[in-house]
Amino acid sequence: MQKYLIFGATGSVGSNLATQLSLANKEIHLIGRNDVELKKLSSKLECDYTVLDILSDNIYENLKNKFEDFDLAGIAYCIGSIDLKPLWKTNKEDFLKCLKLNFFPIVEVIKIFQDNLKKNKGSIVLFSTVAVQRGFTNHSIIASVKGAIEGLTVSLAAEFAPSIKVNCIAPSLTNSKIAEPILKNKVLAEGIAKAHPMKRIGEGKDTAAMAKFLLTEENSWITGQIIGVDGGRSTLA
């Protein structure tokens, strides 16, 4: 059976995506750096997993050796960060650090698996942020890097069509570990929720549901799209 690789499988979106694919009887393989959380999730979903830090040395060689022969149906790169500070406090290293986690690995991962995905007419799902289109203060780092991912999405969709579908989801703030520093401030969290027409913060399952659709055979004609899962924030607020 063809497999789906989920990078960042223990995060809010990644774990919900894994669960939703598993419930749809899809074969999944979890990838992440948290051994304890991966083991717990893989046991629950009865699937395989690999402990792997995307920033470690020889990472791409290890990926190639382990997964090159996998029969792949799709890849979801759910790894991300939230890097917020005013421009005057930023430096080159801030942008490079964000690129090294959010952007550069995507390019290398896709290069490794593109032939496999072409053979199976598979799908790739990447992730951006509503901040690319909306423009929020203190978002220059993450919005710039995620904007690069949106550019990569449409470029690769054109390059790989009709063999591989490539799409990107742009969520608004989601209840997750990386959002905890923001959401632990109850007043701030309530204010952000009210800024959304749907009047709440997003949940991992919201974004995961769209990712599942885009990855699987449910989607046969959508590629090169940046899709907002943002409670209306990008167009209505």
Q: Residue 236: inside a domain, yes or no?
A: no
Mean pLDDT of the chain: 95
Centroid of chain to Cα 47 = 20
Upstream peptide bond of 105 is cis (omega within 30 degrees of 0):
no
The predicted structure's pLDDT at residue 85: 95
Cβ atoms of residues 172 and 202 within 8 Å = yes
pTM of the entire predicted model? 0.96
Contacts of 235 (CB under 8 A, 6+ apart): 228
Q: Residue 55: inside a domain, yes or no?
A: yes
Query: For residues 114-149, b (16+ Cβ closer than 10 Å) or e, as one string?
Result: bebbeeeebbbbbbbbbbbbbeeeebbbbbbbbbbb
- For 198-207, the pLDDT digits (tens) are 999 999 999 9
Cα separation, 213 vs 217, in Å, equals 8
- For 49-98, the pLDDT digits (tens) are 999 999 988 888 888 888 877 899 999 999 999 999 999 999 999 999 99
Reading the block at residue 101, the tokens are 């986690």
Can you list the alpha helix ranges (DSSP code H) found in the chain? Answer: 12-23, 35-45, 59-67, 92-102, 104-120, 131-134, 140-160, 180-183, 186-194, 204-215
Q: Residue 235: inside a domain, yes or no?
A: no
Q: Residue 237: inside a domain, yes or no?
A: no
Higher pLDDT, 1 or 41: 41
The predicted structure's pLDDT at residue 210: 98
Task: Say which CATH number the domain at 168 has.
Answer: 3.40.50.720
The predicted structure's pLDDT at residue 119: 94
Q: Please report, in angstroms and rounded to a whole number, the separation of the first and last CA atoms in the chain.
A: 43
- Whether residue 160 is predicted with pLDDT greater than 90 in this model: the reply is yes
- For 101-141, the pLDDT digits (tens) are 999 999 999 999 999 999 999 999 999 999 999 999 999 99
Reading the block at residue 42, the tokens are 């893989």
- Whether residue 25 is predicted with pLDDT greater than 80 in this model: the reply is yes
Cα angle at 14 between 182 and 198, to 5 degrees? 50
In the chain, the amino acid numbered 88 is W
Q: Whole domain around residue 40: which residue ranges?
A: 3-229
The predicted structure's pLDDT at residue 102: 97
Total tally of structural domains belonging to the chain = 1
- Whether residue 191 is predicted with pLDDT greater than 90 in this model: the reply is yes
Q: Residue 234: inside a domain, yes or no?
A: no
